[in-house]
């Protein structure tokens, strides 16, 4: 994983926005002296949060995560060394900026046939069936919601504002309200405004989780707190029309825990016309692409191996706040307006997911995910492809698959073979197995000690957050596109390492820098750090801390984890011409000591 403490400069037409989570410091924390440089970071502990340690180093608590042992804090820069050297800390990162998926400024609901589910016929505008999202909890993690809007007030059920630290997540932007209307604008006659709309699932329980401020900007810890809230409060679906180009371990961990808790996570792929962004690229999230009214992939829609499904995202009409003119470059009108982006595609998928849950609330998030992909209308190349994923989400077909109409395929995939489990640290075990060859294979289910814990669309999985010196037993099964689950693999076991054991030394064997991309006056600077053990063998699973000095003298800090080849690559995007200097400031891996005196090089300079 790579995290970045720097403002990401992006075109307002196609970028990610996320919101800054400004949370009140808890009482009882040590307060550092004035004029001390304070760092904004997140920490994930191996087993449990060490509050005494945090007090000793003068940390100011912003948020303590509820579903995993992590915190978001501010602390004096002089205390960072204590964090880096604490063996009971699994990982830490700067709270990087992340962005709301701003949009390029209703046929969409009709195109996915949602109205045929809750209205019983083509072009219906009134709810006439019992499958309309009833009893399903959907959280829109965004800028908040105008819960006074007549189309949203009937289905608004609550939420939380992580920007202002209260339970009033009123939208002071417009983006969250627009997304919420696509998910669930209610059938609200006779109280409707002129131009009233009906969303994909108009009878859900709608929750607003405000993690983005009035400018649509902020940091990863706020988004992680919103995901954590969704898991702790029993949401069925969390809809995230937001993202960033760089990964974040705190968002990843929050997503892993939320998915394991049963939350279906739906996220926008991004609007750069490039690689799928984060958190959509994580396997726990459904990455959503955008299509236009002619079923073409939108020019701005991100794509790649993580892209799972598509939905309408061009010129989407939905709700906007009733009490203010919109913010940002598009300045939407009050009440209703048209926007474009994968932000707009994502709530279509979230709404259909709510309909599928509504048809059968006993389903798991993995079941619903499989239904969405197996019933999608195939677009582009036959079968899955990197631009449309499995195709366009289809509400009518998805609900029919749950509510009585199925493909008739009852043959399960073959038993998974070749499963291995390898302990890589005191808190992580890596699994791998032979890939199944069925043409209709959808995903794999992972079991730990007999309990289902996660899905994987590849033939590997990293189980994190484990207890040191503990033996865990695993099994894996394959699931096809009709939902048939094959026989579980033979079980294998592995024991996590001791949190205090030392098995050797490690050092930096190489730092390579190059210009990986040029866009007009801008340059992308790539830095690859290679790490080996004391015997010179490539060492995976090492957390690398790196500072990059920019041509203007400012510093950008990164953290990342080496792969099985002992390498991790960091990318600084849209840099100017000049001299860049990369310096490794630390290495960390359970059981290993960083021997900086053996480094082949600690810094590298590039004139770009």
Integer Cα distance of 32 and 597 in angstroms: 33
Whole-angstrom Cα distance, residue 198 to residue 186?
5
Digit-coded pLDDT (tens) for 145-193: 999 998 899 899 999 999 998 999 999 889 999 999 999 988 755 455 6
User: Looking at residue 424, what is its pLDDT?
Assistant: 85
- Contact between 46 and 426 under an 8 Å Cβ cutoff? The reply is yes
- pLDDT band, very low/low/confident/very high, at 60 (cuts 50, 70, 90): very high
**Residue 76 phi, psi dihedral angles, 5° rounding:** -60, 140
Residue 53 corresponds to which tokens in the numbers above?
């340690």
The residue among 257, 180, 251, 265 whose CA lies nearest residue 222 is: 251
Residue labelled with tokens 């205090």:
500
pLDDT confidence of residue 16? 33
Contact indicator for 577, 551 with CB cutoff of 8 Å: yes
- Which SS3 state, helix, strand or coil, does residue 346 take? helix
The residue-averaged pLDDT of 400-417 equals 73
Structure confidence at residue 106 as a pLDDT band (50, 70, 90): confident
Q: Is 423 helix (H, G, I), strand (E, B) or coil?
A: strand
Question: Burial letters for 22-41: b for 16+ Cβ neighbours within 10 Å, e otherwise?
Answer: ebeeeeebeebeeeeeebbb
* pLDDT tens by residue, 545-592: 999 999 988 888 888 899 888 999 998 887 888 999 999 999 988 778
Parallel, antiparallel, or unpaired for β 60-64 and 70-76? Answer: antiparallel
Q: Is the pLDDT of residue 278 over 70?
A: yes
Whose CA is closest to 572, among 580, 561, 584, 583?
580
When mean pLDDT is compared over 6-10, 399-403, 405-409, the highest value belongs to 399-403
Helix (H) or strand (E) holding 319: strand 316-320
The one catalytic residue among 113, 142, 161, 171: 142
* Domain annotation for the chain: domains and CATH numbers: 99-402 (3.40.50.200), 420-495 (2.60.40.10), 504-607 (2.60.40.2030)
User: How far is Cα 406 from Cα 303, in angstroms, rounded to an integer?
Assistant: 29
Could you read off the pLDDT of 497-527 as tens digits, one per residue?
877 555 688 999 999 999 887 766 778 899 9
- Quick check: 307 pLDDT over 70? yes
Q: Give the up-direction half-sphere exposure of residue 163: CA atoms within 13 A in the CB hemisphere.
A: 24
Greater confidence, 593 or 224? Answer: 224
Per-residue model confidence as pLDDT tens digits over 14-43:
223 322 222 223 333 333 334 578 899 999
Predicted local distance difference test score (pLDDT) of residue 291: 94
Q: In a 3-state reduction of DSSP, which class is residue 39?
A: strand
d(CA 439, CA 547): 45
Q: What is the DSSP string of 221-260?
A: HHHHHHHHHHHHTT-SEEEE-EEBSS--HHHHHHHHHHHH
Helix (H, G, I), strand (E, B), or coil: what is residue 412?
A: coil
Ranking 73-77, 124-128, 226-230 by mean pLDDT, the lowest is 124-128
- Ramachandran region, residue 28 (left: φ > 0; alpha: ψ -120 to 50; beta: rest): left
Q: What is the mean pLDDT of residues 451-464?
A: 85
Structure tokens at 369: 């995910």
Any catalytic annotation for residue 348?
no
> Which pLDDT belongs to residue 175?
93
The CA distance from 360 to 368, in Å, is 10
Predicted local confidence at residue 3, as pLDDT: 35
142 an active-site residue? Answer: yes
CA 384, CA 49: separation in Å to the nearest integer? 42
Helical (H) or strand (E) element with 328:
none
More reliable by pLDDT, 4 or 508: 508
What is the model's pLDDT at position 113?
78
pLDDT in tens, 417-448: 999 999 888 888 999 999 999 887 888 999 99
Residue 450 has pLDDT above 60, yes or no: yes
Options 149, 173, 175, 236, the catalytic residue:
175
User: Which two three-digit tokens encode residue 517?
Assistant: 């991309």
pLDDT given at position 196: 72
E strands along 482-578, which residues?
492-495, 504-519, 522-533, 543-549, 555-561, 567-575
pTM given for the model: 0.60
| Catalytic residue status for 11 | no
How far is C-alpha 236 from the geometric centre of its chain's CA atoms?
Answer: 16
Report CA-CA distances (Å) from 238 to 76, 175, 275, 365. 34, 16, 22, 11
pLDDT above 80 for 12: no
Dump pLDDT digits (tens) for 180-227: 999 998 875 545 565 578 899 999 999 999 999 888 887 899 999 999
Peptide bond into 331 cis (omega under 30): no
């Amino acid at each position: 994983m790579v995290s970045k403490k720097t403002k990401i400069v992006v075109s307002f037409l196609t970028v990610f926005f996320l919101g800054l989570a400004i949370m009140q410091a808890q009482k009882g924390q040590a307060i550092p002296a004035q004029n001390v440089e304070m760092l904004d970071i997140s920490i994930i502990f191996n087993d449990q949060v060490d509050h005494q340690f945090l007090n000793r180093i003068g940390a100011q608590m912003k948020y303590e995560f509820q579903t995993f042992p992590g915190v978001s804090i501010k602390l004096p820069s002089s205390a960072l060394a204590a964090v880096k050297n604490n063996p009971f800390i699994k990982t830490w990162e700067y709270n990087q900026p992340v962005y709301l998926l701003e949009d390029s400024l209703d046929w969409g609901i009709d195109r996915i046939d949602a109205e045929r589910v809750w209205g019983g016929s083509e072009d219906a505008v009134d709810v006439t069936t019992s499958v309309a999202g009833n009893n399903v909890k959907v959280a829109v993690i965004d800028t908040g919601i105008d819960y006074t809007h007549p189309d949203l007030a009937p289905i608004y059920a609550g939420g939380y504002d992580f920007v202002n630290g209260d339970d009033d997540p009123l939208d002071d932007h417009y983006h969250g309200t627009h997304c919420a209307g696509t998910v669930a604008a209610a059938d609200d006659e006779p109280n409707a405004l002129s131009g009233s709309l009906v969303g994909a699932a108009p009878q859900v329980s709608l929750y607003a989780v405000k993690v983005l401020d009035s400018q649509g900007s902020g940091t990863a810890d706020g988004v992680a707190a919103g995901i954590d809230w969704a898991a702790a409060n029993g949401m069925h679906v969390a809809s995230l029309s937001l993202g960033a180009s760089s990964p974040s371990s705190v968002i990843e961990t929050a997503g892993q825990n939320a998915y394991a808790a049963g939350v279906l996570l739906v996220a926008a792929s991004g609007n750069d016309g490039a690689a799928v962004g984060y958190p959509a690229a994580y396997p726990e999230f459904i990455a959503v692409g955008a299509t236009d009214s002619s079923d073409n992939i939108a020019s701005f829609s991100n794509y790649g191996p993580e892209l799972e499904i598509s939905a309408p995202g061009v010129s989407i009409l939905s709700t906007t706040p009733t009490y203010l003119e919109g913010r940002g470059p598009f300045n939407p009108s009050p009440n209703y307006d048209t926007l474009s982006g994968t932000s707009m595609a994502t709530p279509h998928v979230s709404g259909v997911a709510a309909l599928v849950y509504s048809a059968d609330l006993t389903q798991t998030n993995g079941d619903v995910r499989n239904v969405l992909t197996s019933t999608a209308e195939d677009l582009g190349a036959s079968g899955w492809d990197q631009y449309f994923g499995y195709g366009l989400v289809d509400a009518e077909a998805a609900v029919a698959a749950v509510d009585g109409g199925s493909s008739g395929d009852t043959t399960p995939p073959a038993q998974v073979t070749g499963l291995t489990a390898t302990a890589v640290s005191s808190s992580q075990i890596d699994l791998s197995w032979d890939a199944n060859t069925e043409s209709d294979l959808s995903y794999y289910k992972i079991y730990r000690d007999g309990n289902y814990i996660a899905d994987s669309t590849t033939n590997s999985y990293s189980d994190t957050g484990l207890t040191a010196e503990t033996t865990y037993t695993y099994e894996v099964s394959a699931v096809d596109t009709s939902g048939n689950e094959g026989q579980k693999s033979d079980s294998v076991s592995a024991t996590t390492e001791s949190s205090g054991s030392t098995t050797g030394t490690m050092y930096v064997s190489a730092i390579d820098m190059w210009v990986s991309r040029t866009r007009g006056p801008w340059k992308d600077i790539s830095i690859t750090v290679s790490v080996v053990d004391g015997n010179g063998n490539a060492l995976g699973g090492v957390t690398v801390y790196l500072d990059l000095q920019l041509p203007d003298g400012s510093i950008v800090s990164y953290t990342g984890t080496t792969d099985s080849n002992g390498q991790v690559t960091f990318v600084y995007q849209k840099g100017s011409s000049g001299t860049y200097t990369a310096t490794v400031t630390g290495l960390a891996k359970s059981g290993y000591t960083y021997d900086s005196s053996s480094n082949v090089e600690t810094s590298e300079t590039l004139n770009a």
